[in-house]
Amino acid sequence: MNIILLGPPGAGKGTQAKMLIDAYGIPQVSTGDMLRAAVKNQTPLGLEAKKYMDSGQLVPDEVVIGLAKDRIAQPDAAKGFMLDGFPRTVPQAEALDKVLAGMGKTIDHVISIEVASAELLGRLTGRRTCKACGQGFHVMFDPPKVEGKCDKCGGELYQRDDDNEATVSNRLKVYDAQTKPLIDYYQAKGLLRPIDGVGSIDAIFGRIKAVLG
Ligand code: AMP
């Protein structure tokens, strides 16, 4: 099963993707995670991408298309994959269609997680992640038992560089202008599966599973 997770920043795509990969046994392909790894390792691509990420802009299409293409071609994606944060522009979606056609594959479902924009700023600026194990928390909605420490492994929690208020409001504007048109793009292809993204993590997971079967 080949799936795209679509939705504004803060809709819970990453959280749901991590639960879905366990349930369906397919890898999560997150261009954001790949770019953050490149930034951390200070590769030339990472140093270039950081400028865009820090200001909440999108990294150029050709860069992320190359990353996604290489990842989808890996053996573990042969029986399916879950794209999280890609595509994010219509040219990326068109490039993905071409890449998949060349591999004899298609997208089965585009899960569109819907959350009102007024709620997203608070969701994003309160996010914290464990440096050691990657577990996510939220200072208001899912706080750790000990401030700044991971409940699972005791690791130190950090805030993503691009989750500060100025960058977040830019990311939301960029989403409206560049990514929202993908809703119509996939609706027209009959692939769009709208999901109410408000509620508990488990409730939203249940709604997605009901669609995927
Ligand atoms: P994410 O973790 O998906 O929220 O992505 C974090 C940042 O990485 C975004 O704000 C962009 O700067 C960059 N990024 C991730 N995926 C893409 C993509 N498909 N196209 C362009 N930029 C991306």
Q: Are 5 and 114 in contact (CB under 8 A)?
A: no
In a domain, 158, yes or no: no
pLDDT of residue 58: 97
Which residue among the candidates 123, 128, 171, 193 is catalytic per the annotation? 171
Q: Are 130 and 185 in contact (CB under 8 A)?
A: no
In a domain, 183, yes or no: yes
pLDDT of residue 37: 95
Active-site residue, 123 included: no
% of the chain residues with pLDDT over 70: 100
**Cα 183 to averaged position of ligand 1 atoms, centre (Å):** 17
Supply φ then ψ for residue 184, to 5 degrees: -65, -40
Supply φ then ψ for residue 148, to 5 degrees: 80, 0
User: Could you give the CA distance from residue 100 to residue 80 in angstroms, rounded to a whole number?
Assistant: 12
In a domain, 111, yes or no: yes
Which CATH number is 10's domain given?
A: 3.40.50.300
In a domain, 149, yes or no: no
Residues touching ligand 1 (Cβ under 6 Å) are 9, 31-32, 35, 52-53, 56-59, 64, 85-86, 88, 92, 162, 171
In a domain, 17, yes or no: yes
For the chain, the domain total comes to 1
List, for residues 99-143, the tens digit of each pLDDT value. 999 999 999 999 999 999 889 999 999 999 999 999 999 999 899
In a domain, 185, yes or no: yes
Active-site residue, 88 included: yes
pLDDT under 70: residue ranges of the chain = none
pLDDT of residue 213: 87
In a domain, 23, yes or no: yes
- The pTM (predicted TM-score) of the whole model is 0.91
**Cα 89 to averaged position of ligand 1 atoms, centre (Å):** 11
Domain around 182: 2-27+74-115+173-212
Q: Are 195 and 206 in contact (CB under 8 A)?
A: no
C-alpha distances out from residue 178 to 57, 116, 156, 172, 174, Å: 10, 17, 34, 10, 6
**Cα 52 to averaged position of ligand 1 atoms, centre (Å):** 9
pLDDT of residue 32: 95
Q: Which two tokens stand for residue 86?
A: 């890609």
Kindly give, in sequence order, each residue whose CB lies less than 8 Å from that of residue 68, ignoring residues fewer than 6 positions away: 29, 31, 83, 86, 87, 92, 96, 99
